[in-house]
Copies of this chain bind each other. A is one copy, B any other.
Amino acid sequence: MASISQIAETIGGEIIGNPQLEIQGVCDVKSGKARHITFIGSREYEQYFDSCNADAFVVNLKFSLENRNKTLIKVDDPTYHFVKVVDMFYPAPVFKSGVHETAIIDDSVTLGENVSLGPYVVIEGGSTLGNNVVIGAGTFIGANVTIGEGTIIRPNVSVYHDSVIGKHCIIDSGTSIGADGFGLLTHKGIRHKMPHVGRAILEDNVLIGANCCVDRGTLNDTVVGEGSKFDNFIQVAHNVQIGKNCVISGQTAIGGSTVLGDNITIAGQVGIIDHLTIGSGSVIAGKSGVFQSIEENSFVSGTPARPHKERLRQDAATNKLPDLLKKVRKLEQEALQPENR
């Protein structure tokens, strides 16, 4: 329970309505719940304002809808500030500090202060964990791995030897970091696996979802740049370089040695083949198959991916195709009529 005035004070907003109103929790804006607070993060959600059962809303400074039954808290960025309200009602999980008695930590491992190592964690020799690192149950950390302070690795993750993980990263369950890439060579008709002596490196503030694979490099390193964020099931092949603040949605795969710039947004189920360059600021629509390099700030879609406007034009033309077939048939018939000959 928290009053509107407490909430407004926490997030630094202006109250329109009842500051004494007692709020029991947070809810979404589409249906909402009585005595709960929600937020309107953009104009498209204003349509739910009147029908929503919530009694209070965190809204933009410019929000102009009125409803005397609703209490508003006005802030400059409602989504950002609503997160603080969520934190008031659902404090972030606290991980019990300490090393569980069943964790097997090699004597040569360096542990920072206040680490939390869960049951059945295994950490091999030469690895270093910064302060406040959390490792979930059953997670394996190979030899000579570095993990920066404040990073949280969830249960049942596998981090192979030599991997470097920055500060304040999050890695969800089932993910594999630093497994050998898929490099084969053919000698006298037999395919051999190539050794992989590069590393997998995640810079600071990287988020890796559940069941992802970031492979180590062949000779160079595979790198995921600072602040980049991955959904689940992302495949990052050997030697890939991903820049800063990229966002990659579920089931997307990036082929070997491909280089991504910064601030790239990739939707779900995209495939990018190997040895390409994807320019900074580009956007790749869902399900695209990228077979060629992309210039900065492009917006591409489809398979093979091309500029989205071209794609739309071509799709529109394709839709007219059955009609076009009829027209040409008619023109042919007219051309065959004697009076036109």
Q: Which residues from chain A sit less than 8 Å from chain B, CB to CB?
A: 26-28, 38, 41, 77, 79-80, 83, 86-87, 89-90, 92-93, 102, 104, 118-120, 122, 136-138, 140, 154-158, 160-161, 170, 172-176, 179-180, 182, 184-185, 187, 190-195, 197, 207, 209-213, 215, 218-220, 227, 229, 231-233, 235, 237, 239, 245, 247, 249-251, 253, 255, 267-269, 271, 273, 286-287, 289, 291, 302-304, 313-315, 317-322, 324-325, 327-328, 331-332, 334-335, 339-341
Contact = CB atoms under 8 A, between A and B. Distances in A.
A289 B311 CA distance: 15
8 contacts: A92-B195, A102-B102, A140-B155, A182-B229, A231-B235, A235-B268, A302-B303, A327-B332
A166 B275 CA distance: 34
Contact of A93 (B27, B161, B209): B161
A143 to B, nearest CB: 8
A328 B324 contact: yes
Contacts of A332: 327, 331
Given A138-B120, A247-B184, A179 B210 contact: yes
A110 B112 CA distance: 35
A136 B86 CA distance: 34
* A138, A314, A320: residue with the most chain B Cβ atoms closer than 10 Å: A138
Contacts of A247: 184, 191
* A182, A215, A220: residue with the most chain B Cβ atoms closer than 10 Å: A182
Given A193-B170, A324-B324, A328-B327, A273 B253 contact: no
Contacts of A86: 195, 197, 219
A124 to B, nearest CB: 9
Given A174-B211, A233-B213, A286-B289, A122 B119 contact: yes
Nearest to A289: B287
Contacts of A218: 28
Nearest to A235: B250
Given A182-B231, A185-B83, A90 B138 contact: no
Given A122-B120, A122-B137, A303-B287, A255 B268 contact: yes
Given A156-B138, A253-B250, A176 B182 contact: no
A173 B90 CA distance: 30
A73 to B, nearest CB: 17
A172 B182 contact: no
B173 A179 contact: yes
Query: Which A-B residue pairs are the 6 nearest by beta carbons?
Result: A158-B173, A176-B210, A140-B155, A182-B231, A287-B289, A80-B187
Nearest to A230: B182
A304 B267 CA distance: 14
B80 A192 contact: yes
Contact of A328 (B118, B197, B239, B328): B328
A156 to B, nearest CB: 5
